[in-house]
Amino acid sequence: MKAHFILHAACSLLLSSCATYSVSRVTTNQLATTTGLDPSNVAEISAQMTESLLASGALKRKGNDGRSIVAISTFRNNTSLYDFDPNLVFNRIKVTLNRTGQAYSYVQNDRFVSANRSAVSRENKVREFLGETKTSSGPSPQYTLTLELIENHAQLGARVTQKAYQIHMTANDINSGLSVWEDLQDIAKVGRRSAIGF
């Protein structure tokens, strides 16, 4: 009888705990916002900045097929968000650039790109020694993109925290070394703690 009661109680507990948890798929716009950088914020701002770059006409130098080649070269994270994944920015930039048909893009520290270029470089040293024609590692970029993430925050009283993030994007002409386009976008957040509770 006692064993039957314990089994019944265990089953009831298991069923009740399972019944209170459910999962459903949502879009990034439906995610709860935080005082940090939300994926939807980063995606939207990155796309806006890339569209601004394309609309500016700054990418004047083109390859043989009429497209510019843009290398995403540097990302500086000057925030307390040490675990921020720069691919949240990189991926949106690459998708926006490539979809328009105006530019190709890649990330310079991509390990597959780096491995291929290193292999071609080693092969060309041998070819040079043997007096053979060198192999191309692919077309060179005409432009680089550098990105910086900046943070500023303040405590406004005991229960209000204000955070401001800034994304700074610069397009540089590789031949001249000059910055041909820049943009800054801000993402501001205010967090409030209720007067009751912790």
* Per-residue model confidence (pLDDT) at position 87: 87
pLDDT tens for 150-180 read 988 665 666 677 788 899 999 999 999 999 9
Q: Between 151 and 12, where is the model more confident?
A: 151
Residue 198's pLDDT band, with cuts at 50, 70 and 90, is very low
- Using a 10 angstrom Cβ sphere, with 0-12 exposed, 13-18 middle and 19 or more buried, the burial of residue 155 is exposed
Residue 29's pLDDT band, with cuts at 50, 70 and 90, is low
Q: Determine the 3-state secondary structure of 171 from DSSP.
A: strand
Residue 108's pLDDT band, with cuts at 50, 70 and 90, is confident
Residue 97 has pLDDT above 50, yes or no: yes
Distances in whole angstroms, Cα of residue 50 to Cα of each of 55, 73, 151? 9, 15, 21
Alpha-carbon Rg for the chain, nearest whole angstrom, is 26
* Per-residue model confidence (pLDDT) at position 122: 66
| Whole-structure pTM value | 0.68
C-alpha 90/C-alpha 98 separation (Å) is: 12
Q: What is the dihedral of CA 27, 33, 38, 44, to 10 degrees?
A: 60
What are the structural domains of the chain? 36-109+140-192 (3.40.50)
pLDDT tens for 46-87 read 999 999 999 999 999 888 888 999 999 889 988 888 888 888
* Per-residue model confidence (pLDDT) at position 194: 57
CB 189 within 8 A of CB 163: yes
H helices within 77-149, ranges in order? 87-100, 111-130
| Helix (H) or strand (E) run with residue 187 in it | strand 179-192
Q: Minimal CA–CA distance to 104: which of 137, 136, 64, 134?
A: 64
